[in-house]
Chain A
Amino acid sequence: MKTREWVLMVAFAVLLPLVLASGAWAERGVTDTEIRIGQYGPQTGPAALWGAVARGTGCYFDMINAEGGIHGRKITYFLRDDGYMAPRTKAICKELVESKEVFAMASGVGTSPGMAVKKYLHKKKVPWVGPATGSTHWAYPPTKYLFAVYPLYIDEAAMLVNYAVKNLGKKRIAFFYQNDDYGREGLAGAEYALGKLGMKLVAKVSVEVLDTDLSSHCMKLKKAKPDCVLMWLLPKQGAIILTTAAKMGFKPLWMTSSTLSDTPIMYKITRGLYKDVIFASFGEGPNSQHPLMKKYRAAHDRFAPKDRWGVFFYAGFIFVEPMVEGLRRCGRDLTADNFVKAMESIKDFQGIGPKITYGPNRRQGARSMFLAKCGDKGTFIRLSDWLTSDVDLKEVLKRLGR
Chain B
Amino acid sequence: MFLQLIMSGLSFGSLYALIALAMVIIYKTSEVPNFGQGEMAMISTFVAYTLLVTYQYSYAVSFVGALLFAAVLGVFLEFVFLRRAKDPNVLSLILITLGFEMVLYGLASWKWGADQRDLPFPVSDFDTVSLGPAVVSYLNIATLLITLVLMFFLFLFFKYTKVGIAMKATQQNAMAARINGIRTNRILSITWAMSSLIGAVAGILLAPIATLDPNLMLDPLLKGFSSAVLGGMTTLVGAALGGYILGIIENLFGGYVSLEFKSIVAFGIIVLVLCFKPSGLFARHYVRKV
Chain A contacts to B: CB under 8 angstroms:
42, 44-49, 51, 179, 205-208, 210-213, 215-217, 219-220, 223, 235-236, 239-240, 243, 246-249, 265, 268-271, 308
Contacts and interface: CB of A to CB of B under 8 A. Distances in A.
B5 A216 contact: yes
Interface string B122-164: 0001101000000101000000000000000000000000000
Contacts of B259: 205-207, 216-217, 220
B118 A271 contact: yes
Nearest to B109: A44
A246 B137 CA distance: 10
A239 B116 contact: yes
A217 B254 contact: yes
Nearest to B139: A247
Contact of A44 (B114, B218, B262): B114
Interface stretch (B25-33, B86-94, B205-213): B205-213
Ordered nearest first, which 5 A-B pairs have the shortest CB separation? A48-B114, A216-B254, A215-B8, A44-B109, A210-B219
Contact of B1 (A213, A217, A219): A219
Contacts of A223: 1
Contacts of B117: 268-269
B113 interface: yes
A268 B262 CA distance: 29
Contacts of A268: 117-118
A206 B260 contact: yes
A211 B255 CA distance: 14
A269 B118 contact: yes
A217 B251 CA distance: 9
Contacts of B254: 216-217
B147 to A, nearest CB: 15
10 contacts: A46-B218, A49-B114, A49-B115, A210-B263, A212-B219, A215-B8, A216-B254, A236-B211, A239-B116, A269-B117
Given A219-B4, A269-B117, A269-B118, 19 more contacts: A44-B109, A49-B115, A51-B114, A205-B259, A211-B262, A212-B12, A215-B4, A215-B251, A216-B8, A217-B259, A219-B255, A236-B210, A236-B211, A236-B213, A247-B126, A248-B135, A249-B135, A269-B116, A271-B126
A235 B114 CA distance: 11
Contacts of A215: 4-5, 8, 12, 251
B50 interface: no
Contacts of A248: 4, 135
B219 A211 contact: yes
B112 to A, nearest CB: 10
Contacts of B286: none
Contacts of A217: 254, 259
B110 interface: yes
B109 A48 contact: yes
Contacts of A219: 1, 4-5, 255
Contacts of B8: 213, 215-216
Nearest to B261: A208
Nearest to A81: B109
Given A206-B260, A208-B262, A236-B215, A247 B125 contact: yes
A18 B126 CA distance: 74
B16 to A, nearest CB: 9
A85 B114 CA distance: 16
B106 interface: yes
Contacts of A240: 209-211
Given A48-B109, A216-B251, A240-B210, A247 B215 contact: no
Given A235-B116, A239-B116, A45 B109 contact: yes
B39 interface: no
Contacts of B238: none
Contact of B125 (A208, A216, A243, A269): A243
A270 B109 CA distance: 21
A212 B222 CA distance: 12
A2 B126 CA distance: 93
A40 to B, nearest CB: 16
Contacts of B220: 212
Contacts of A44: 106, 109-110, 114
Contacts of B247: 213
B5 to A, nearest CB: 6
A236 B118 CA distance: 11
Interface string B1-30: 100110010001000000000000000000
Contacts of B1: 219, 223
B250 interface: yes
Contacts of A247: 125-126, 128, 135, 137
A47 B114 CA distance: 8
A181 to B, nearest CB: 15
